[in-house]
Structure 1
Amino acid sequence: MRADITERKLAEEALRLSEERFRLLLDGVKDFAIYMLDPQGRVLSWNAGATRIKGYSSEEIIGENFSRFYTSEAQASGKPEQELQHAVSNGRFEEQALRVRKDGTTFWAYIVITPMYDESGVLRGFSKVARDITERRQAEEVVKETREALESQTLMLRSVLDSMAEGLVAVDENGKFVIWNPVAKKILGLGATDLPAQEWTGHYGLYIADMVTPFPVDQVPWVRALRGQASSTQMFVRNPELEEGHWIEVTAGPLRDKQGVVCGGVAAFRDITQRRADEGEIRKLNNELEERVIQRTAQLEAANKELEAFTYSVSHDLRAPLRHIAGFSKMLGETCGSALPEEGLHYLGRIQDGTRRMGTLVDDLLNLARIGRHELRLQVTGLDSVVKDVIADLAPDLEGRKIELKIGKLPYVEGDPALLKVVFQNLLSNAVKYTRPRATAMIDVSVDQIAGEQVVSVRDNGVGFSMKYADKLFGVFQRLHRAEDFEGTGVGLATVQRIVQKHGGRIWAEAELDKGATFYLTLGSTKPANASKAMAMSGETG
């Protein structure tokens, strides 16, 4: 019996040593939580790895149900019990899922649950092994997101390449085509080739402008791109797939890596056959148009010269008979006036008035013709002095009238002083004339900046006119008021327009019936009003 006791003690010691070695083995595994559960899921053992991963000490957790390692949603759905049942039914349960630490934080765990049976096949519990795979899951998510983003970008790039109206091709540093979109195949008639760059010209049928000479291999845009050169050129393409051939425009450039080293090339090209045909037709039409313009300009110049000569000749030739009529009618009145009846004197007066008006008209026509033939004598001229001279000349017309005359600081211009005086004589005399019905006439001469340009204006509060007749304003013999109301020949504004245009400027008017009118004009190059240097150049003094 003593021997039996000794054997039993030895067996118990051996079992204790075995359990101690097993416990030390499990505690030495720090990366895995290894523990045992009873059939109801209560914790029976707990290694150091479990403490590190889940945060519980063995004293805190042994005897507690393992369901506390699950999220509240998993607990509510009965997942802990389902996993144990699955392990029993299938001999093993395995998954990757979220688990909860003691501090309430969650982590991703790889879990294996295995049922344990005794020698008689009775379920004694479960072994459970768990490993924290949070970092791995995060890495996998990053890889997944990167892959999805790359796939999305690849799909987008393919969609862009397929929807482009231009052909697009790219080659790597070895001259191998890596991109060749559908439009490139359509334009060139052929797809990507594995032939060396020296054979691209012949393979695709590339020619220079004469459509006969093969395009030089070293000048092919793709080849130049591999040498680090950007280029743009036109070439003719003809091959068995494009028997009639067509013109293409190619723009190519090198591809470089982060260090700036050439790692390939890319080229975009389009079919410009129709564009070249249209450009040729446009050039032909432009040439024809230029020729017609030259011819028409010559015809107009000749016609204008003839018209000016005719106007001058007629006006000049009318002077003699007008002088005769004026002279003889005056002599008739002086010598026979007392013998003429009242009606005869009335007729004689009308003859003399008509002669005077005709003389004025002839003078205006002569002035208009002279302006067309007058050669500009340009010099820097102050408009202030020009306007003051005109006002002095108009002094007799201003007598006995209440006129508020306001003259702003006017600029210097490069122009013909004599002709510029004619401009303001007409504009200011018109302002004086058409303000006669006003008790107080207001005439304003000023300069403004309009759209970056100095514009001189002459404004009055006279009778004005309707803007629907503005297109007739500057025509010869065009009058917008009755001769009985306002005297004039209808030549003055035509003269003004011709002078302004001769100076490279323009003139226009704005008005409202019975509310006055404003005439605007530009005179080419203008200078600041305080340009003392300009005064010195023109020889003007204060």
Structure 2
Amino acid sequence: MMLGRLSRFLFGTLRGRLVVGVAVVHALMMTLLVADLTQRQRSMLLDRQIEEATALSQALATSGAGWIAADDVSGLQELVEVQRRYPEILFAILADQDGRVLADTDSSRRGSYLLDLPREAHVSVLSGTPALVDIAAPAIVGGRQVGWARVGIGQRVASEKLGEIFRSGVVYAIGAIVIGAVIAWFMGQWITRRLYAVQETINAVRSGDHQARSLVVGDDEAAVMGREFNAMLDSLAQRDAELRASEKKYRSLIHNVQVAIILFDGQGRVLNSNPLAQEMLGLIEDKPQGEALLDPAWHLLKEDGSVLPLDEYPFRKVLSSHQPLRDDVTGISHPGLSEVIWVLANAEPEYDDAGHITQVTVSFVDITERKRAEDALRLSSERLQLATRVANIGIWDWDIVHNELVWDDSMYQLYGIQRGEFGGAYDAWMRTLHPEDKAHTDGEIQAALRGEREYAPEFRIIRTDGSIRYIKADSRTIRDQGGIPLHMIGTNIDITEHKKAEEEILKLNQTLEQRVTERTAELLAANKELEGFSYSVSHDLRAPLRHIDGFLALLKVKAGASLDDKSLHYMNTISMATKRMGTLVDDLLAFLRMRRKDMATEDVDLATLLQEVIQEFEPETLGRDIAWCIGKLPKVTGDRAMLHIVLVNLISNALKFTQKRAKSVIEVGCQHAAMEAIVFIRDNGVGFDMQYADKLFGVFQRLHAMDEFEGSGIGLANVRRIISRHGGRTWAEGKVDGGATFYFSLPHVADKEVMPGKPDHF
């Protein structure tokens, strides 16, 4: 059994073969120097152990670097446990960059710190004594050191082997010289070839060929190392693929989520950010990882608009307080923004096993529109409060379910009640009402609760000082889906002054109505007296005029032959004046009758009526060259006889004042306005001066002498009176020796009312 183990050790392991080969060679070559040979062998063994320990620590560092970076303690511990397979190993340790033990063959030392690690990141021999070979190798990922691998190997077994070699060497030295030389040569070639094969695989992987694998087969250490190395590479490749897939999902989630996200490390440096955060904060997409987010071109704002100090930035708050940040309203301003972006910031820390913050995830949700709405609502509320105070409007809110009545400050002022004096319930409010108004007001409330109508009555209140005020209420009832009333919100307005004004107006109206009635009666009496006087004067003037004219005719008959021409001229003048006076009296009587005459309403075709009037003047116009230009005239509603008089007077004027023209041109037409039809009669007569246009429609007003144009001066006054009674207007335009245009308007049939049987008065 022992011989078998010894045989397997000497010929089945690399270490055994090397020991045997070296011992045989030394025995053959240095028989006389056995002691020296042993010492040299021990030194060589020590060097080889250092090389093995170095290779083992480097392999361990290479294998554990990725897991150290991922902080995978359980994986690291498994990797360390595998190292127990090596017979000479005393310990195997994996630690982070700061020397904190992450995995150890002695699990009790995990979490402690290694204080004797080298300062530089290269392989170091910490102990090279026969009792202990201690090697430390840096674990490097992507050219950056992430930790240390430390391996310790002892020489107890080797020392025993050296003793045996020494004793056996003396015995077999002579016989083994030739054989040892041959075996040492072949075994050196054999062992070196397999080790180089494994090393070549390690070099290929180190250069970036992650698909390279060791092809060494067999059961020796080189083959075992190759298989373990291959297994380690396969495991790392699988973990790397899983890590890349996880990172891809993580990045996809961060980049596609509709929330701005920035990742900071424990020192406040940017680790990553998604496009929305880059756009919102004005960052560039390829901002170097780890760069501090302290760009002076942009800054954060407090909710009041002032600049937020650096120590109050979301990630800074988390780093200083070690607590998450929730729903912090912050403004973002930088040159790339036309206006401030308001965000809701949240920050979540991540801790390591020691409770230190390793990462802070800050998220920003854009609430600019909500902030605008809140600001607008606050401004509207302030304006409403100001308006209610200025207008003395009180606002109340009655919680019907809990019978809680809430007033604003204006309500307390309206009712003259201090806050502490009001019970805040419906009953407390009812006690402020005037006794005579309580039943009605409560009935209006109940009707509103039943949904019959909204509560909006007027009532009186009695204030604490005893004064009575009139209140106008308005409200809106809020109900649930079943129609049950929940809230009633409304306003109260003090209308006391309005009520007093209404009472004053009512009194004034009553007084005014009485005065109007009295004055109307006085005016009617005066009109009757004036009309009676006018008729009396007109009739009384007729008799003397007839006498004058009659006696003047008799005088002409009896004394006409004896009178000279001058006396006859005087008599003719008296006769003409008497006739003119009679004409004036007749026209005045006609004007008075027109004022008293009742109107008859009927449809009147002005075109037909105009033709009748023109025909009436045919005897007077015989022999005159007259051009009639008649346009389309409307149909109206009115008194046909009165409108006949209007056209007679206006056509008569046109004929009279164009009689001196070689050719008279008279145009009659109509213009339609929005509310009325405007009829005009235009001529090319002598015209008139516009500065006297206001006298044209006056009674007995004339702009031309009697010897030029005859007339009494009442015709146009009659026109204005008739058109006025029809609800229309009259006016004229003219130019001296440039003709004249007379206008009268009549309201459209749908827009006017004709009051038959009701004559006008002075």
Q: Name the TM-score, length of structure 1 as normaliser.
A: 0.71
Shift of residue 220, structure 1, vs aligned partner: 5.3
RMSD of equivalent CA atoms: 4.7
Counterpart of 1:44 in structure 2 is 146
Counterpart of 2:574 in structure 1 is 351
Once the two structures are superposed, residues 328-376 of structure 1 have per-residue CA deviations (whole angstroms, 9 ceiling, x without a partner) of: 3233334432321111111011111111211111110121122233233
Counterpart of 1:280 in structure 2 is 503
Q: Report if aligned partners of 1:169, 1:177 keep a CA contact under 8 Å in 2.
A: no
Shift of residue 318, structure 1, vs aligned partner: 2.1
CA distance in 1 between counterparts of 2:269 and 2:747 reads 95
Q: Report if aligned partners of 2:676, 2:746 keep a CA contact under 8 Å in 1.
A: no
Q: Report if aligned partners of 2:605, 2:636 keep a CA contact under 8 Å in 1.
A: yes
1:385 is aligned to 2:608: yes
Secondary structure of 1:391's counterpart equals: helix
Secondary structure of 1:350's counterpart equals: helix
Q: Are the structure 2 counterparts of residues 474 and 67 from structure 1 closer, same or farther at C-alpha, using a change threshold of 3 Å?
A: closer
Secondary structure of 1:488's counterpart equals: coil
CA distance in 2 between counterparts of 1:477 and 1:28 reads 128
Counterpart of 1:168 in structure 2 is 395
Choose which of 178, 197, 203 in structure 1 pairs with 2:426: 197
Choose which of 456, 459, 474 in structure 2 pairs with 1:232: 456
Secondary structure of 1:326's counterpart equals: helix
Once the two structures are superposed, residues 65-122 of structure 1 have per-residue CA deviations (whole angstroms, 9 ceiling, x without a partner) of: x9894677975996399xxxxxxxxxx898999xxxxxxxxx9986769899xxxxxx
Computing the radius of gyration from Cα coordinates, the structure with the larger value is 2
Aligned ranges for residues 241-256 of structure 1 at < 5 Å? 242-256=465-479
Shift of residue 167, structure 1, vs aligned partner: 1.7
In structure 1, what residue type is equivalent to 2:631? Answer: G
Once the two structures are superposed, residues 100-151 of structure 1 have per-residue CA deviations (whole angstroms, 9 ceiling, x without a partner) of: xxxxxxx9986769899xxxxxxxxxx98446x46xx235x54x97578547
- Equivalenced residue count is 466
1:407 is aligned to 2:509: no
Q: Are the structure 2 counterparts of residues 256 and 502 from structure 1 closer, same or farther at C-alpha, using a change threshold of 3 Å?
A: same
Once the two structures are superposed, residues 387-430 of structure 1 have per-residue CA deviations (whole angstroms, 9 ceiling, x without a partner) of: 22221222233233332222233333333333322221111111
In structure 2, what residue type is equivalent to 1:161? Answer: Q
Q: Report if aligned partners of 1:308, 1:372 keep a CA contact under 8 Å in 2.
A: no
CA distance in 1 between counterparts of 2:489 and 2:409 reads 15
Q: Report if aligned partners of 1:226, 1:264 keep a CA contact under 8 Å in 2.
A: no
In structure 2, what residue type is equivalent to 1:324? Answer: H
In structure 1, what residue type is equivalent to 2:394? Answer: G
Q: Report if aligned partners of 1:74, 1:80 keep a CA contact under 8 Å in 2.
A: no
Shift of residue 230, structure 1, vs aligned partner: 1.0
In structure 2, what residue type is equivalent to 1:288? Answer: T
Counterpart of 1:446 in structure 2 is 669
CA distance in 2 between counterparts of 1:526 and 1:389 reads 23
Secondary structure of 1:303's counterpart equals: helix
Once the two structures are superposed, residues 287-314 of structure 1 have per-residue CA deviations (whole angstroms, 9 ceiling, x without a partner) of: 2222222222222222222222222222
Query: RCO (CA 8 Å, sep 6+): is it higher in 1 or 2?
Result: 1
1:138 is aligned to 2:351: no
Aligned ranges for residues 287-298 of structure 1 at < 5 Å? 287-298=510-521
Once the two structures are superposed, residues 444-468 of structure 1 have per-residue CA deviations (whole angstroms, 9 ceiling, x without a partner) of: 2222212321232222233333444
Counterpart of 1:79 in structure 2 is 292
Q: Are the structure 2 counterparts of residues 296 and 149 from structure 1 closer, same or farther at C-alpha, using a change threshold of 3 Å?
A: closer
Q: Are the structure 2 counterparts of residues 466 and 169 from structure 1 closer, same or farther at C-alpha, using a change threshold of 3 Å?
A: farther
Shift of residue 473, structure 1, vs aligned partner: 2.8
Q: Report if aligned partners of 2:538, 2:589 keep a CA contact under 8 Å in 1.
A: yes
Secondary structure of 1:338's counterpart equals: coil
Counterpart of 1:423 in structure 2 is 646
Secondary structure of 1:296's counterpart equals: helix
Q: Are the structure 2 counterparts of residues 148 and 348 from structure 1 closer, same or farther at C-alpha, using a change threshold of 3 Å?
A: closer
CA distance in 2 between counterparts of 1:20 and 1:74 reads 25
Q: Report if aligned partners of 1:414, 1:524 keep a CA contact under 8 Å in 2.
A: no
CA distance in 1 between counterparts of 2:382 and 2:655 reads 78
Q: Are the structure 2 counterparts of residues 198 and 24 from structure 1 closer, same or farther at C-alpha, using a change threshold of 3 Å?
A: same
Q: Are the structure 2 counterparts of residues 28 and 161 from structure 1 closer, same or farther at C-alpha, using a change threshold of 3 Å?
A: farther
Secondary structure of 2:471's counterpart equals: strand
Aligned ranges for residues 121-160 of structure 1 at < 5 Å? 129-130=358-359, 133=361, 137-139=363-365, 142=367, 146=370, 149-150=373-374, 153-154=377-378, 156-160=380-384
Q: Report if aligned partners of 2:699, 2:713 keep a CA contact under 8 Å in 1.
A: yes
Counterpart of 2:197 in structure 1 is none
Secondary structure of 2:713's counterpart equals: coil
Secondary structure of 1:214's counterpart equals: helix
Aligned ranges for residues 205-220 of structure 1 at < 5 Å? 205-207=432-434, 212-216=436-440, 218-219=442-443
Secondary structure of 1:170's counterpart equals: strand
Counterpart of 1:371 in structure 2 is 594
Q: Report if aligned partners of 2:441, 2:457 keep a CA contact under 8 Å in 1.
A: no
In structure 2, what residue type is equivalent to 1:79? Answer: A
1:397 is aligned to 2:620: yes
Q: Report if aligned partners of 2:602, 2:639 keep a CA contact under 8 Å in 1.
A: yes
Secondary structure of 2:462's counterpart equals: strand
Choose which of 398, 401, 407 in structure 2 pairs with 1:180: 407
Q: Are the structure 2 counterparts of residues 43 and 366 from structure 1 closer, same or farther at C-alpha, using a change threshold of 3 Å?
A: farther
Once the two structures are superposed, residues 209-229 of structure 1 have per-residue CA deviations (whole angstroms, 9 ceiling, x without a partner) of: xx74535463355x6555444
Secondary structure of 1:397's counterpart equals: helix
CA distance in 2 between counterparts of 1:411 and 1:155 reads 60
Q: Are the structure 2 counterparts of residues 37 and 368 from structure 1 closer, same or farther at C-alpha, using a change threshold of 3 Å?
A: farther
Q: Are the structure 2 counterparts of residues 517 and 299 from structure 1 closer, same or farther at C-alpha, using a change threshold of 3 Å?
A: farther
CA distance in 2 between counterparts of 1:108 and 1:53 reads 19
Q: Are the structure 2 counterparts of residues 524 and 69 from structure 1 closer, same or farther at C-alpha, using a change threshold of 3 Å?
A: closer
Choose which of 665, 668, 686 in structure 2 pairs with 1:463: 686
Secondary structure of 1:456's counterpart equals: strand
Counterpart of 2:705 in structure 1 is 482
CA distance in 2 between counterparts of 1:364 and 1:157 reads 75
Secondary structure of 2:457's counterpart equals: strand
Q: Are the structure 2 counterparts of residues 51 and 170 from structure 1 closer, same or farther at C-alpha, using a change threshold of 3 Å?
A: same
CA distance in 2 between counterparts of 1:415 and 1:331 reads 48
Choose which of 544, 548, 561 in structure 2 pairs with 1:321: 544
Q: Are the structure 2 counterparts of residues 325 and 69 from structure 1 closer, same or farther at C-alpha, using a change threshold of 3 Å?
A: same
Q: Are the structure 2 counterparts of residues 181 and 463 from structure 1 closer, same or farther at C-alpha, using a change threshold of 3 Å?
A: farther
Q: Are the structure 2 counterparts of residues 232 and 78 from structure 1 closer, same or farther at C-alpha, using a change threshold of 3 Å?
A: closer
Choose which of 299, 303, 306 in structure 1 pairs with 2:526: 303
Question: Where does structure 2 lack aligned partners over 5 or more consecutive residues?
Answer: 1-8, 10-48, 76-94, 99-118, 122-142, 148-239, 253-267, 273-282, 295-318, 326-344, 751-762
Q: Name the TM-score, length of structure 2 as normaliser.
A: 0.52
CA distance in 2 between counterparts of 1:195 and 1:113 reads 53
Q: Report if aligned partners of 2:350, 2:359 keep a CA contact under 8 Å in 1.
A: yes
Shift of residue 52, structure 1, vs aligned partner: 5.1
CA distance in 2 between counterparts of 1:477 and 1:159 reads 67
